[in-house]
C-alpha cells in the first residue's frame, strides 16, 4: 500500500476585469492506494481519500475531513490507461457518472509507463474523467508527455527523473440551481514539471507541476472568463509492502 499527500495552490482572477482581486485556493488530500495485478499488463487499483481540506482566500473555511472516506476503484495498463473507474463510500458525487474533485486529483498519481525505459525515452498517456462541480458534470481530458531525463536520489534511494508536459481541456454543462438555471463551463490549460519515479514499482515518489489555464463560465445572462495559475505537488508519505502487490 502506498500513501500520498497531494497539494494544489492556485490563484484565480477574472480575466475581463484587470482590477479584480485574485482569489487564492488551497487544497490538500491524503490518499491510500493498493495495486494488484489483474493479468499480465493490467493492474487493479483500490484507492481511498483518507482526508481532505479546501480553502479559498479565507472566505471559505477549510473543510473538515470526511470521516467516512471516499473510496474508488479503477484499472490501468500501458495501452488504454485508466479504465473502469467507480466511486463508493464517503462523500458522494453530485452528478451522474462523475467523481468528486479530490478523487479526480488522486487519479493523476497514476502513470502509464512502457515496459522498457532508457535515458531519453519519450512516451505519452491520456485520461478522461467526469468531475462533479456541484450538479454540473465537467469532462476533463488530460494528455501528458514524459521524457526520462536521468536518475537521481530521493530520501536516499535511486529514482528516475522524468520531465513532464501536459495539456488539458474541460467541458461541461448542467443545472446550477433548483430553479433550473443552466451553466456551461469550458477551458484549456498547459503545465510542466518534474516527476520522480520508483524504478521498481513505477509509482511516483514526488512530483511538481506548474501551469496556467483559462476557464469560461457561461449562463443565459452572463459570460465570465477566468485565468488561473496552479502549482501542484505530490509526495509519497510511506509504503507498506504486501505479498499481493506486483
Give the residue from 233, 239, 246, 230 showing the smallest Cα distance to 195. Answer: 233
Which distant-in-sequence residues (6+ apart) come within 8 Å of 29 by Cβ?
5, 6, 49, 50, 51, 52, 53, 102, 105, 106
Residue 164 CA to its chain's centroid (Å): 14
Ramachandran quadrant class, 15 (left: phi over 0; alpha: psi -120 to 50; beta: rest): alpha
Judge whether 160 and 117 are in contact, CB under 8 Å: yes
Round to whole Å and give the CA distance between 70 and 92: 8
Q: How many CB atoms lie within 10 A of CB 227?
A: 16
Dihedral angle, C-alpha 16, 27, 81, 229, nearest 10 °: 30
> Can you give the pLDDT of all 246 residues of the chain as single tens digits?
899 999 999 999 888 776 777 788 999 999 999 988 655 567 889 999 998 888 887 555 555 555 556 888 888 877 777 888 888 766 666 677 788 888 999 999 988 888 788 889 999 999 899 888 777 889 999 999 999 999 999 999 999 999 999 999 999 987 766 556 788 999 999 999 999 999 988 899 999 999 999 999 998 888 989 999 999 999 999 987 654 443
Provide the residue count of the chain: 246
**Which helix (H) or strand (E) is 184 found in, with range?**
strand 182-197
Fold of 2-239: Lipovitellin-phosvitin complex; beta-sheet shell regions (2.30.230)
Phi and psi angles of residue 104, each rounded to the nearest 5 degrees, phi first? -60, -40
Residue 125 CA to its chain's centroid (Å): 14
Round to whole Å and give the CA distance between 99 and 73: 11
DSSP code of 246? -
Q: What was the pLDDT predicted at 21?
A: 75
Here the cell at position 41 is 499488463
Angle (CA) 57 129 81, round 5°: 125
Round to whole Å and give the CA distance between 131 and 73: 15
Q: What was the pLDDT predicted at 176?
A: 67
Amino acid at each position: 500500500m502506498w500513501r500520498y499527500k497531494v497539494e494544489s495552490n492556485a490563484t484565480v482572477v477574472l480575466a475581463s476585469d484587470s482590477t479584480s482581486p485574485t482569489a487564492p485556493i488551497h487544497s490538500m488530500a491524503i490518499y491510500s492506494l493498493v495495486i494488484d495485478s489483474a493479468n499480465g499488463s493490467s493492474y487493479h487499483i483500490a484507492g481511498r481519500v483518507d482526508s481532505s481540506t479546501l480553502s479559498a482566500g479565507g472566505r471559505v473555511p477549510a473543510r473538515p475531513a470526511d470521516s467516512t472516506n471516499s473510496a474508488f476503484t479503477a484499472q490501468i495498463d500501458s495501452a488504454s490507461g485508466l479504465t473502469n473507474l467507480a466511486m463508493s463510500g464517503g462523500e458522494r458525487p453530485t452528478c451522474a457518472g462523475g467523481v468528486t474533485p479530490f478523487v479526480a486529483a488522486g487519479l493523476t498519481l497514476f502513470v502509464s509507463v512502457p515496459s522498457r525505459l532508457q535515458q531519453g525515452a519519450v512516451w505519452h498517456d491520456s485520461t478522461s474523467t467526469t468531475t462533479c462541480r456541484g450538479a454540473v458534470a465537467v469532462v476533463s481530458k488530460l494528455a501528458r508527455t514524459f521524457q526520462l531525463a536521468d536518475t537521481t536520489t530521493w530520501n536516499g534511494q535511486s529514482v528516475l527523473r522524468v520531465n513532464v508536459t501536459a495539456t488539458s481541456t474541460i467541458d461541461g454543462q448542467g443545472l446550477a440551481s433548483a430553479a433550473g438555471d443552466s451553466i456551461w463551463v469550458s477551458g484549456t490549460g498547459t503545465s510542466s514539471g518534474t516527476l520522480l519515479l520508483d524504478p521498481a514499482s513505477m509509482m511516483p515518489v514526488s512530483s511538481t507541476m506548474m501551469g496556467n489555464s483559462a476557464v469560461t463560465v457561461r449562463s443565459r445572462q452572463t459570460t465570465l472568463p477566468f485565468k488561473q495559475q496552479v502549482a501542484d505537488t505530490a509526495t509519497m508519505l510511506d509504503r507498506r509492502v504486501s505479498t499481493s502487490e506486483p
